[in-house]
Amino acid sequence: MTNLFAGAVVGLLSGVHAASWGMYKDAPHEGFELRKFLRSILLGAAVGAAAAPALGLDAATARGAAALFGVAYVVERALAEIYKTFLRQEDQSKYTIPMQFAIGGRVVESRALRTVLGLGYFALMLALVGALVAYQHAVGRAPAPIELVVLGAAGGWLSAIGGAWKDAPIEGFQLFKFFRSPAIAALWALVLGNLTADLVTVMLAATGYTVATTETWKTFCFPSHPRGKFADRPIRFPTMLRRRQRVVPVYVAVWFVVVVALGLSLASHAVATPTQVQVSHE
């Protein structure tokens, strides 16, 4: 029960983090909806509580919490995006880039077809996880750095392909943007490989941290630059430009907690490694 509660808290923090940048970037165009804001928080808490025991992570420790934050982040984001892309029925005229599944920029209107495609996409993600489990079981050892870079970044490649499918028909193909997520995911995988030897955990957490990193950069470093989905669209709720600042301290506080957890975990790993080497020689 302690691990479930700790997992729920870590997941809740990941949900607060995602909900904060989502509100900050979208509220001037869509307004603020408490229901949407709480959705990520509650879903993140549920994912964190479930993922901690499922992946064998001790969420009450800095090491387990640091890894779980990234896992809960990406699972919550993936579920939310699957819902918005394949299941939700919404007027797309307010968007420059369609948020529902589209082919060549044209929305697939059939809800039944979108549902089938969504199930297929979800099955693809499960297959990726299954492939990593099978690979690690076959090699029977902790992943080497090259494996972390190639396999740990797999979620980044999936994200890049999905993003290009959605955005490129409207914005054109952007080479830097396409390779950004895989490159950042590979770097995060190298870092997270110091916390756990489980490839699935590394891949999921690296993808989650990649989303958190890129959204921080795009949202808060360029606050006046509208997202592609709202490009050329007017700001319909100008009061939100001021009100949205309220989430910034919360967002920074969550990042601070996460960075401290990561720092403590990496420091403990650095201290433990020489001891492990000495014992192995003995």
pLDDT at 276 over 70: no
Count of positions (residues) in the chain:
282
Cα-Cα-Cα-Cα dihedral sign, residues 44, 153, 212, 102 = negative
The pLDDT confidence band at residue 93, using thresholds 50, 70 and 90, is: confident
Mean pLDDT of 56-76: 97
* pLDDT(91) > 80: yes
DSSP letters, 166-178, are HHHHHH---HHHH
CB 82 within 8 A of CB 33: no
The greatest distance separating any two alpha carbons of the chain, rounded to the nearest whole angstrom, comes to: 69
Distance, CA of 205 to CA of 66 (rounded, Å): 9
Task: Over range 68-83, report the average pLDDT.
Answer: 97
Flag whether pLDDT at 112 surpasses 70. yes
- Alpha-carbon gap, residue 265 to 116, rounded angstroms: 41
Q: Which of 120-124, 170-174, 240-244, 250-254 has the lowest mean pLDDT?
A: 170-174
Q: Where are the domains of the chain?
A: 2-277
At residue 1 the predicted structure's pLDDT band, cuts being 50, 70 and 90, is: low
What distance in Å separates the CA atoms of residue 36 and residue 12, rounded to the nearest whole number?
14
Q: What is the pLDDT of residues 114-141, one digit of tens each?
A: 999 999 999 999 999 999 999 999 999 9
How many C-beta atoms lie closer than 10 Å to residue 204's C-beta? Answer: 30
